[in-house]
């Protein structure tokens, strides 16, 4: 009996909870059935909208996929999302056509309604695009869109061109030390690469049989006049020929006269540096046998160096010899150096599509080393002549053509094709299509361009209908 009572109690409790939950849910859940207002019979239904709020509409009653009825939208409760129709111009303005109230490219020569019952909007002669393509926009829309204009002006364009370069030696300041006869190095005075030398400094001592023979011939020819031969002494040709032979062997003029005046032939000759600078290459060691034409030293004067910059193919037209350039070396970023463009190389690198440009800079402290990297900024002044320019933001470039929007006043704008030139400092040169002083739109250009395209499309759609 006790077990029966417990079972009955539990059953009643569960049933009570279920009924209470249903009652609570029924009170908390709003009804999905929208009761029409008492005066719905007198109200005009414009269309029916999706009950879930999705952007779906219908001109007639219907249900959605769940079987819910579309909700009616009445005329006195419909919010207007479209801008108010333009006011009718004063006077006897002529209506050109009627356009779709939703902005679709659909026009009509007579008044009509769309599929939702909305009236087409009249377009008057003053609002339609002119034959010249002028766009008219209301003052309110211009103010809301933030349209700004600026006059085309004459100015000198300075376009900075950037490139990457490397330090190179000045080829005109490099000297190679060679001998014109065979010989043997007996003593080496300059024996390290990178050593600084000055012109006339002894580099090494060399014994050369050819030089010894030429020296002997010179002294012998020098003594011929003392032998009493009047014929030989008056001519002097053997003496001058011997000295010229020594010059041809590369012996310095001062060394030839020293031996000539001293009358003594040394066993080995000190070979002097032909120019001053830094020894960049050394290919000789003590005791080495050298042959005529061998490169023994390469001496380079580094007091002035070249910067070889690789300029992109599209920028090379803006650079010419004589332009200024600022060179910043990555090893000394805080000490940029000013240089001058001295040469533009005639060939193009096909791998990188760049052209090499030479810039000369001074290097008094020898801090700039060959093959150092540098960042180059060219100050390309062009022809230094004033040209008609507009801000770069004023140009609408579609790739196939470039246009600017010329402000005509009273909300009218004319899309005008132009021919562009050089760019620089945020401005672009106008080669053809614009005159100095004409106002062009610099901001919200794409908004006006879209309006122009819309009006052109509307005019195109209306022309076949008007011709009927």
Domain assignment present for residue 126? The answer is no
- Identify whether residues 393 and 461 lie together within a single domain: yes
CA distance 56 to 324: 66
CA distance 107 to 120: 8
CA distance 265 to 407: 94
CA distance 126 to 455: 13
Find how far residue 248's CA is from the centre of its chain: 56
- Identify whether residues 221 and 288 lie together within a single domain: yes
Query: CA 168 → CA 257, 308, 349, 374, distances in Å?
Result: 39, 7, 18, 11
Domain assignment present for residue 99? The answer is no
pLDDT class of 8 with cuts at 50, 70, 90:
very low
Instruction: Give residue 98's pLDDT.
Output: 83
- Over residues 156-176, the mean pLDDT reads 91
Instruction: Give residue 235's pLDDT.
Output: 44
Domain assignment present for residue 53? The answer is no
Which of the listed residues 346, 380, 414 is the one where a domain comes to its end?
Answer: 380
- Over residues 262-290, the mean pLDDT reads 93
- Identify whether residues 263 and 323 lie together within a single domain: no
pLDDT class of 10 with cuts at 50, 70, 90:
very low
- Sign of the C-alpha dihedral, residues 245, 250, 251, 253? positive
Q: Which residue has the tokens 């006077």?
A: 91
CATH number at residue 140: 2.40.420.20
pLDDT class of 94 with cuts at 50, 70, 90:
confident
- Identify whether residues 227 and 314 lie together within a single domain: no
Find how far residue 201's CA is from the centre of its chain: 51
CA distance 58 to 46: 10
- Over residues 72-91, the mean pLDDT reads 57
Lowest mean pLDDT among 116-125, 173-182, 270-279, 455-464: 455-464
- Identify whether residues 376 and 394 lie together within a single domain: no
Instruction: Give residue 395's pLDDT.
Output: 87
Instruction: Give residue 28's pLDDT.
Output: 37
Query: CA 272 → CA 44, 155, 176, 196, 203, distances in Å?
Result: 114, 59, 12, 14, 6
Closest CA to 423 of 215, 160, 107, 197: 160
- Identify whether residues 315 and 166 lie together within a single domain: yes
Which residue did the predictor score with more confidence, 277 or 70? Answer: 277
Domain assignment present for residue 436? The answer is yes
Kind of pairing between the strands at 196-197 and 277-282:
antiparallel
pLDDT class of 146 with cuts at 50, 70, 90:
confident
CA distance 193 to 208: 25
- Identify whether residues 367 and 401 lie together within a single domain: no
Residue 16 above 60 pLDDT?
Answer: no
Tokens of 328: 């910043």
pLDDT in tens, 23-47: 333 333 333 334 444 454 567 887 7
Sorted by sequence, the CB contacts under 8 Å of residue 216 that are 6+ apart come out as: 265
Instruction: Give residue 416's pLDDT.
Output: 85
- Over residues 363-376, the mean pLDDT reads 93
Which of the listed residues 326, 355, 380 is the one where a domain comes to its end?
Answer: 380
Instruction: Give residue 226's pLDDT.
Output: 46
Instruction: Give residue 104's pLDDT.
Output: 67
Domain assignment present for residue 121? The answer is no
- Identify whether residues 368 and 454 lie together within a single domain: no
Domain assignment present for residue 262? The answer is yes
- Identify whether residues 225 and 288 lie together within a single domain: yes
Instruction: Give residue 15's pLDDT.
Output: 40
Residue 201 above 80 pLDDT?
Answer: yes
- Identify whether residues 369 and 327 lie together within a single domain: yes
Which of left, alpha, beta for 410 (phi over 0: left; psi -120 to 50: alpha)?
left
Domain assignment present for residue 148? The answer is yes
CA distance 438 to 456: 24
Which of the listed residues 337, 363, 380 is the one where a domain comes to its end?
Answer: 380
Which of 281-290, 311-320, 383-392: highest mean pLDDT? 281-290
Instruction: Give residue 110's pLDDT.
Output: 87
CA distance 396 to 393: 8
CA distance 25 to 39: 31
- As for how many domains the chain has, the answer is 4
Which residue did the predictor score with more confidence, 10 or 133? Answer: 133
Which of 20-34, 105-119, 277-291: highest mean pLDDT? 277-291
Query: If you average pLDDT over every residue of the chain, what do you get?
Result: 78
Residue 180 above 90 pLDDT?
Answer: yes
Domain assignment present for residue 197? The answer is yes
In 3-state terms, what secondary structure has residue 167?
A: strand
- Identify whether residues 209 and 268 lie together within a single domain: yes
- Identify whether residues 145 and 193 lie together within a single domain: no
**Contact criterion met (CB below 8 Å) for 211 and 239:** no
Q: Look up the domain containing 140 and give its range.
A: 135-155+386-467
């Amino acid at each position: 009996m006790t077990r029966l009572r417990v079972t009955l109690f539990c059953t009643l409790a569960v049933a009570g909870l279920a009924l209470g939950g249903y009652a609570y849910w029924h009170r908390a859940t709003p009804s999905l059935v929208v009761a029409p207002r008492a005066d719905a019979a007198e109200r005009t239904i414009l269309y029916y909208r999706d009950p879930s709020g999705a952007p779906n509409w219908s001109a007639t009653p219907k249900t959605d996929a769940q079987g819910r009825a579309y909700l009616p939208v009445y005329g006195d409760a419909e919010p207007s999302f479209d801008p108010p129709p333009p006011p009718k111009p004063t006077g006897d303005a002529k209506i050109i056509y009627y356009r779709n109230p939703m902005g679709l490219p659909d026009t009509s020569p007579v008044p009509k309604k769309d599929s939702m019952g909305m009236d087409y909007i009249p377009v008057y002669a003053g609002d339609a695009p002119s034959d010249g393509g002028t766009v008219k926009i209301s003052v309110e829309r211009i103010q809301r869109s933030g349209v700004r204009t600026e006059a085309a002006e004459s100015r000198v364009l300075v376009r900075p061109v950037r490139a990457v370069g490397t330090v190179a030696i000045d080829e005109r300041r490099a000297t190679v030390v060679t001998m014109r006869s065979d010989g043997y190095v007996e003593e080496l005075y300059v024996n390290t690469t990178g050593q600084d030398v000055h012109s006339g400094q002894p580099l090494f001592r060399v014994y050369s049989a050819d030089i010894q023979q030429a020296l002997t011939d010179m002294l012998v020819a020098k003594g011929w006049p003392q032998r009493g031969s009047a014929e030989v002494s008056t001519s002097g040709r053997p003496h001058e020929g011997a000295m010229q032979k020594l010059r041809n062997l590369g012996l310095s003029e001062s060394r030839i006269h020293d031996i000539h005046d001293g009358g003594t032939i040394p066993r080995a000759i000190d070979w002097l540096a032909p120019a001053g600078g830094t020894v960049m290459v050394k290919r000789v060691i003590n005791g080495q046998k050298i042959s005529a034409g061998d490169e023994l030293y390469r001496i380079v004067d580094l007091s002035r160096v070249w910067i070889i910059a690789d300029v992109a193919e599209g920028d090379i037209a803006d650079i010419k010899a004589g332009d200024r350039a600022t060179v910043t070396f990555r090893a000394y970023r805080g000490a940029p150096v000013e240089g001058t463009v001295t040469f533009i190389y005639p060939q193009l690198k096909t791998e990188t599509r760049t052209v090499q440009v030479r810039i000369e800079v001074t290097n008094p402290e020898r801090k700039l080393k060959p093959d150092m990297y540098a960042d180059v900024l060219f100050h390309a002044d062009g022809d230094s002549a004033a040209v008609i320019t507009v801000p770069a933001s004023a140009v609408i470039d579609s790739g196939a053509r470039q246009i600017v929007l010329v402000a005509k006043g009273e909300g009218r704008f004319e899309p005008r094709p132009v021919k562009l030139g050089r760019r620089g400092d945020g401005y672009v040169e106008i080669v053809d299509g614009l005159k100095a002083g004409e106002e062009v739109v610099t901001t919200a250009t794409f908004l006006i361009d879209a309006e122009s395209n819309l009006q052109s499309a509307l005019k195109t759609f209306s022309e076949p209908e008007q011709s009927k």
